[in-house]
Structure 1
Amino acid sequence: MARAPMDVRDMVAVATFDSYDGAERAVDSLSDSGFPVEKTKIVGVGLRLVEHVLGRLTYPRAAGMGAAAGAWFGLLFGVFVAVFTTSVWWWLTTILSALLWGAVAGAVFGLVAHAFTGGRRDFISSKQLLADRYEVLVDPVLAQRANEMLLTDRP
């Protein structure tokens, strides 16, 4: 019977870093030294969600974004269907038709979706999850071994 993963509250912090890369390098170092890294976790502490506002979302922009997404889907569908065609002309026609119809359908969907927001959230943004610090946590039984391995690895 498989054992449930250990709760992070029961684990011990063996190292703290200002960046995720530092914590990742520490776990990689433990792995390279043969440490059972499946007993390790990287935990972000002091989390905050940062939303970067990129611009206003207008009907033309919603249509354009929908058309771009639809064109990609149409292209994928067109290539899949075109594999079963017998001539270069039909291959090209199938792909271009699917791309065009995907763009049209995507533009319509983008317009309708934007219209249904009713004026709420008329902006485009990207979200980023940030942490103040990153801790490398290990099973308490292995904490001393992990500390020793990390100390010998540091210059």
Structure 2
Amino acid sequence: MNFWNKLFGPTQADPKLDLIPLYNQIVANARTPHWYEAGQVPDSIDGRFDMIAALFSVVLLRLEQDSAQAQNMAHLTEVLVDDMDGQLREVGIGDMIVGKHIGKIMGAIGGRITAFREAFADTRQLDDVITRNIYRGATVDKEAIAHVRHSLIVFEQALAKVSTDDLAAGKAIW
């Protein structure tokens, strides 16, 4: 046992580290080409964020169905914040305004969670939610919107078949 462990006691691993595999799955899915090709999501920083935010929201909606996952939902959100903080710094956003941008990102995520919760409860709203939250109100081909709608529904249905424990552990295949 080293000096620091004797002095402060053993350290525990950060629990949010357990959610990194799930977060990586979300990001990998959001980067698949079909969103940007058939779905015509802009292949830009904003477009990629919008896809990550959409899939992240759907995953959180699945996890919230199990009250035992509340802590994992918080940790997953922390992983997102850490990643976005790093991404902002990488593109040159300085320390003084990173927090402001993170606040906007968290507001955007919160809005998407609410919008997707309502849209999956009444899928007639889904096209409007997609247009507003993924295409940011831009005019897009109906076929592209249909592709994104169908893909999000398939994604949501696949998550419904996965136990929340497996999902949170990043063990699910979807």
Normalising by structure 2, report the TM-score.
Answer: 0.25
Which structure's residues are more often strand, by fraction?
A: 1
Which structure's residues are more often helix, by fraction?
A: 2
Bigger relative contact order, structure 1 or 2, given CA contacts below 8 A and separation 6+? 1
Larger radius of gyration: 1
Normalising by structure 1, report the TM-score.
Answer: 0.27
